[in-house]
Chain A
Amino acid sequence: MNRQTVETLGAVGMNLPPKRRHALGRYGLAMAFAIVALLIRSALPVPEGTAIYQLPIVAVVLSGWYGGRGPALVASAICATGILYRFIPPAHTFEMTPDYALGFFIFIALCLLLSEFSAGRRHAEQELRASEARFRALVQFSFDVYWETDAQHRFTRQEFSERLTDAPAPGSEIGKTRWEIPYVEPDEEAWRKHRATMDAHLPFRDFELARRTADGGIRYVSVSGIPVFDETGRFAGYRGVGRHITDRKRAEAEHRAHIWFLESMDRINRAMQGTNDLERMMGDVLDAVLEIFASDRAWILYPCDPNAPSWRAVMERIRPEFPGTRGCDLPLTVDFAEVARAALDSEGALLAGPGHGRQVEPELAEHFGVRSKMLMALRPKGDRPYLFGLHQCSRPRTWTKDEQRLFEEIGHRVTDGLASLIAFRSLQESERKLEAAQRIAHVGWWERDFVTGRVSLSDEACSIFGVQPLDLPHWQDRWLNLIHPEDREKTAAASETALRGGPRYDVEYRVVRPDGTVRVVHSQGDVTGDESGRPVRQFGVMQDITELRRAEGELRASEARFRTFVDRATDAFFLLDDKARVVDVNRQACESLGFTREELIGMHPRDFDVALDEASIERLVGRARAGETITFETRHRRKDGTTFPVEIRASMFPKDGKLLNLALVRDITERKLAEESLRQSEAYLTEAQRLSHTGSWALDVATNRYLYTSMEFDRIFGFDAQGEAPTRDAVMKRMHPDDRISWTRILEKSVREKLDTTSEYRILLADGSVRHIRTIRHPVVNSAGEVVKLVGTSIDITERKLAEESLRQSEAYLTEAQRLSHTGSWALDLTSNRYVYTSEESDRIFGFDPRGEKPSREAVSQRIHPEDRSNWKRNLEKSLRENVDTFDEYRIVLPDGDVRHIHTIRHPVMNSAGQVVKLVGTSIDVTERKRAEQERERLLRLEAELAHANRVNTLGELTASIAHEVNQPLGAMVTSAAACARWLTAEPPNMEEARSVLEHIVADGKRAGEIIGRVRALTKRQMPRMELLDVNVKVRQVVELADDELRSRDVVLRTELDAMLPGVYGDRVQLQQVVLNLVMNAIEAMAGVVGRPRELTIVTTRSSASEVVVEVRDSGPGVAQDRVERIFESFYTTKPEGIGIGLSISRSIVEAHGGRLWASSNQPHGAVFRLSLPIAQESTA
Chain B
Amino acid sequence: MSEHAAVVFVIDDDPSMLRSLASLLRSVGLEARVFSSAPEFMRAQRPDSPGCLVLDVRLPGMSGLAFQQELAKAGIALPVIFITGHGDVPMSVRAMKAGAVEFLTKPFDDQLLLDAIHGAIERDRERRRTAAQLAELQARFRTLTEREREVFKLVIAGRLNKQIADDLSLSVVTVKVHRAHVMRKMLAKSVVDLVRMADQLGVSHPS
CB B42 to nearest CB in A, in angstroms, measures 14
CB A167 to nearest CB in B, in angstroms, measures 131
The one of A975, A982, A986, A1001 in contact with B17, judged by C-beta atoms closer than 8 angstroms, is: A975
Interface pair B24/A1000, CB less than 8 Å apart: no
Closest residue of B by beta carbon distance from A975: B20
Bound CA span A974–B85, Å: 13
Chain B residues, Cβ within 8 Å of A491: none
Cβ-based interface call for B21 (8 A)? yes
CB B54 to nearest CB in A, in angstroms, measures 11
- Taken residue by residue from 970 to 1005, chain A's Cβ proximity to chain B (1 for < 8 Å, 0 otherwise) reads as 111111101110110010001001001100110110
Chain B residues, Cβ within 8 Å of A971: 17, 83, 85, 106-108
Interface band, chain A: 20 to 34
The one of B19, B60, B111 in contact with A1000, judged by C-beta atoms closer than 8 angstroms, is: B19
Cβ-based interface call for A964 (8 A)? yes
Interface pair B17/A931, CB less than 8 Å apart: no
Interface pair A993/B26, CB less than 8 Å apart: yes
Interface pair A960/B86, CB less than 8 Å apart: yes
Bound CA span A1048–B13, Å: 15
Closest residue of A by beta carbon distance from B34: A897
Chain B residues, Cβ within 8 Å of A978: 24, 109-111
Cβ-based interface call for B133 (8 A)? no
Bound CA span A1038–B206, Å: 70
Bound CA span A997–B22, Å: 10
Cβ-based interface call for B47 (8 A)? no
Interface pair A993/B107, CB less than 8 Å apart: no
Chain A residues, Cβ within 8 Å of B25: 979
Chain A residues, Cβ within 8 Å of B107: 967, 970-971, 973-975
Cβ-based interface call for B23 (8 A)? yes
- Taken residue by residue from 48 to 59, chain A's Cβ proximity to chain B (1 for < 8 Å, 0 otherwise) reads as 000000000000
List B6-32 residues whose CB lies under 8 Å from chain A: 14-17, 19-21, 23-28
Cβ-based interface call for A954 (8 A)? no
Interface pair B24/A986, CB less than 8 Å apart: no
A interface, by DSSP: helix, strand, loop or mixed? helix
Interface pair A993/B20, CB less than 8 Å apart: no
Bound CA span A1000–B15, Å: 11
Cβ-based interface call for A969 (8 A)? yes
Cβ-based interface call for A1052 (8 A)? no
Cβ-based interface call for B90 (8 A)? no
List A928-964 residues whose CB lies under 8 Å from chain B: 931, 960, 963-964
Interface pair A1004/B16, CB less than 8 Å apart: yes
Cβ-based interface call for B202 (8 A)? no
Chain A residues, Cβ within 8 Å of B85: 963-965, 967-968, 971
Interface band, chain B: 20 to 34
Closest residue of B by beta carbon distance from A965: B85
Bound CA span A973–B19, Å: 10
Chain B residues, Cβ within 8 Å of A1102: none
Chain B residues, Cβ within 8 Å of A990: 27
Q: A972-B16, A1000-B19 are in contact. Are A982 and B27 (CB under 8 A)?
A: yes
CB B15 to nearest CB in A, in angstroms, measures 7
Interface pair B19/A974, CB less than 8 Å apart: no
Q: A969-B16, A982-B28, A1007-B16 are in contact. Are A976 and B23 (CB under 8 A)?
A: yes
Chain B residues, Cβ within 8 Å of A975: 17, 20-21, 23-24, 107-108, 110, 113
Q: A964-B86, A972-B16 are in contact. Are A982 and B106 (CB under 8 A)?
A: no
Bound CA span A1007–B14, Å: 12
Bound CA span A971–B21, Å: 10
Chain A residues, Cβ within 8 Å of B109: 978
List A55-99 residues whose CB lies under 8 Å from chain B: none
Bound CA span A975–B25, Å: 10
Cβ-based interface call for B75 (8 A)? no
Interface pair B27/A979, CB less than 8 Å apart: yes
CB B152 to nearest CB in A, in angstroms, measures 50
CB B110 to nearest CB in A, in angstroms, measures 3
Q: A963-B85, A1048-B61 are in contact. Are A1000 and B110 (CB under 8 A)?
A: no
Kindly name the residue among B16, B19, B21, B26 whose own CB sees the greatest number of chain A CB atoms within 10 A.
Answer: B16
Chain A residues, Cβ within 8 Å of B108: 971, 974-975
Chain B residues, Cβ within 8 Å of A965: 85
Chain A residues, Cβ within 8 Å of B61: 1048
Chain A residues, Cβ within 8 Å of B28: 982
Chain B residues, Cβ within 8 Å of A969: 14, 16
Interface pair B23/A979, CB less than 8 Å apart: yes
Bound CA span A971–B17, Å: 7
Chain B residues, Cβ within 8 Å of A996: 23
Bound CA span A960–B88, Å: 11
Closest residue of A by beta carbon distance from B106: A971
Bound CA span A983–B23, Å: 9
Chain B residues, Cβ within 8 Å of A1001: 20
Bound CA span A972–B83, Å: 11
Interface pair A967/B19, CB less than 8 Å apart: no
Chain B residues, Cβ within 8 Å of A997: 20, 23
Bound CA span A967–B24, Å: 18
Bound CA span A1004–B60, Å: 21
Q: A970-B107, A971-B107, A974-B106 are in contact. Are A979 and B14 (CB under 8 A)?
A: no
- Taken residue by residue from 187 to 207, chain B's Cβ proximity to chain A (1 for < 8 Å, 0 otherwise) reads as 000000000000000000000
Chain B residues, Cβ within 8 Å of A967: 85-86, 105-107
Interface pair A979/B20, CB less than 8 Å apart: yes
Bound CA span A983–B28, Å: 8
Bound CA span A215–B21, Å: 134
CB B58 to nearest CB in A, in angstroms, measures 8
Chain A residues, Cβ within 8 Å of B23: 975-976, 979-980, 983, 993, 996-997, 1000
Interface pair A963/B86, CB less than 8 Å apart: yes
CB A558 to nearest CB in B, in angstroms, measures 91
Chain B residues, Cβ within 8 Å of A1044: 60
Interface pair B106/A1003, CB less than 8 Å apart: no
Interface pair A968/B16, CB less than 8 Å apart: yes
Closest residue of A by beta carbon distance from B113: A975
Bound CA span A960–B58, Å: 14
- Taken residue by residue from 97 to 127, chain B's Cβ proximity to chain A (1 for < 8 Å, 0 otherwise) reads as 0000000011111110100000000000000
Bound CA span A971–B108, Å: 7
Chain B residues, Cβ within 8 Å of A1004: 16, 20
Bound CA span A970–B14, Å: 11
Chain B residues, Cβ within 8 Å of A986: 27
Closest residue of A by beta carbon distance from B61: A1048
Chain B residues, Cβ within 8 Å of A963: 85-86
Closest residue of A by beta carbon distance from B28: A982
The one of B27, B60, B83, B113 in contact with A993, judged by C-beta atoms closer than 8 angstroms, is: B27
Closest residue of A by beta carbon distance from B16: A972
CB B85 to nearest CB in A, in angstroms, measures 4
Chain A residues, Cβ within 8 Å of B17: 968, 971-972, 975
Bound CA span A981–B59, Å: 29
Interface pair B24/A972, CB less than 8 Å apart: no
Closest residue of B by beta carbon distance from A996: B23
Chain B residues, Cβ within 8 Å of A973: 20, 107
Chain B residues, Cβ within 8 Å of A979: 20, 23-27, 110
Closest residue of A by beta carbon distance from B13: A968
CB B148 to nearest CB in A, in angstroms, measures 50
- Besides A975-B110, A997-B23, A1048-B61, 19 new A-B residue pairs in contact (Cβ under 8 A), listed by A number: A960-B86, A965-B85, A967-B85, A967-B86, A969-B14, A971-B106, A972-B21, A973-B20, A973-B107, A975-B17, A978-B111, A979-B20, A982-B24, A982-B110, A986-B27, A993-B26, A1000-B19, A1000-B20, A1001-B20
Q: Pick 7 A–B contacts, CB within 8 A, sort by A.
A: A960-B86, A963-B85, A967-B86, A967-B106, A968-B85, A971-B17, A972-B20
**Which 8 pairs show the lowest CB-CB distances between chains A and B?**
A971-B106, A978-B110, A979-B24, A974-B107, A976-B20, A982-B27, A967-B85, A975-B20
Q: Which residues of B contact A (CB under 8 A)?
A: 14-17, 19-21, 23-28, 58, 60-61, 83, 85-86, 105-111, 113
Q: Which residues of A contact B (CB under 8 A)?
A: 931, 960, 963-965, 967-976, 978-980, 982-983, 986, 990, 993, 996-997, 1000-1001, 1003-1004, 1007, 1044, 1048
